[in-house]
A = this chain, B = another copy of it.
Amino acid sequence: MSIRIVLVRPAHPGNIGSAARAMKTMALDELWLVSPQRLPASEAIALAAGAEDVLANARVVSDLQAAVADCGLIVGTTARARHLSWRIIEARGAAAEIAAAAETSHVAVLFGAERTGLENDELRLCHILLTIPTGSAYTSLNLAMAVQVVAYELQLALRARTGIDAPSKDGPVPLASATDMEKFYEQFEQVLREVDFRDRTGYLMARLRRLFNRTVLDQNEVNILRGILTAVQGKRRRAGDPHVVRSEPPP
């Protein structure tokens, strides 16, 4: 399948061009741009320096969801270790997981805007977070530099896998796509309403999303979980629960 690099709201065209070049040096060529502030720009093209093809083939979309809808593994990058609900993995270990997942699924690696990084609603789409280890005094990697380091680790991880015949731990089942997961979360939310589960914090669905995204479900697993939700709904409907909203008339 493929590994795509997704720049979310990049502000500086120069960084886009430099990121394209960084990708190409490491044999990555699928660049997605979500709402770039300016493009095309001569500065981007100048800094691409031999990777103009990566830049020319970049997919530009206005919504992050559109860039990751068919991806089985979505990896956010972060400079901070404050995101307690995600598994945060250093670049080297994360690259190994990405290379493994890419054998069956599309994978997206998200880089946030230069100043702010990824926003909370963007992080919510992520299964794991990748962090680049730095010195402690000054941790501010330039965006394109971060792409270079991650692409470098991906290149090494991909090379390590293609050389090694070890059986994949994940098996041949493709990972659940972002679209599959959205349907699962919608059904889960519906079940929670049907059983009158009280959400005292207001963050219940956000927490459940983080919890299940962290697991990185494959397609069989999400089907099993949806089957269980359907069984809960079906059984309750047969039991004549008056709170269940029916779309069809009762038998």
Contacts and interface: CB of A to CB of B under 8 A. Distances in A.
A195 B133 contact: no
A235 B149 CA distance: 52
Most B C-beta atoms less than 10 A away, residue of A214, A228, A234: A228
A124 interface: no
Interface stretch (A67-75, A98-106, A136-144): A136-144
Interface residues of A, number: 74
A210 to B, nearest CB: 9
Most B C-beta atoms less than 10 A away, residue of A25, A134, A141, A192: A25
B215 A221 contact: no
Contacts of A240: 239-240
Given A138-B51, A149-B149, A169-B88, A208 B236 contact: no
Most B C-beta atoms less than 10 A away, residue of A50, A84, A159: A84
A39 to B, nearest CB: 20
Interface of A: 18, 21-22, 24-28, 49-51, 81, 84-85, 87-88, 90, 92, 132-142, 144-145, 148-149, 152, 155-156, 159, 166-167, 169, 171-173, 191-192, 194-198, 204, 207-208, 211-212, 214-217, 221, 224-225, 227-228, 231-232, 234-236, 239-243
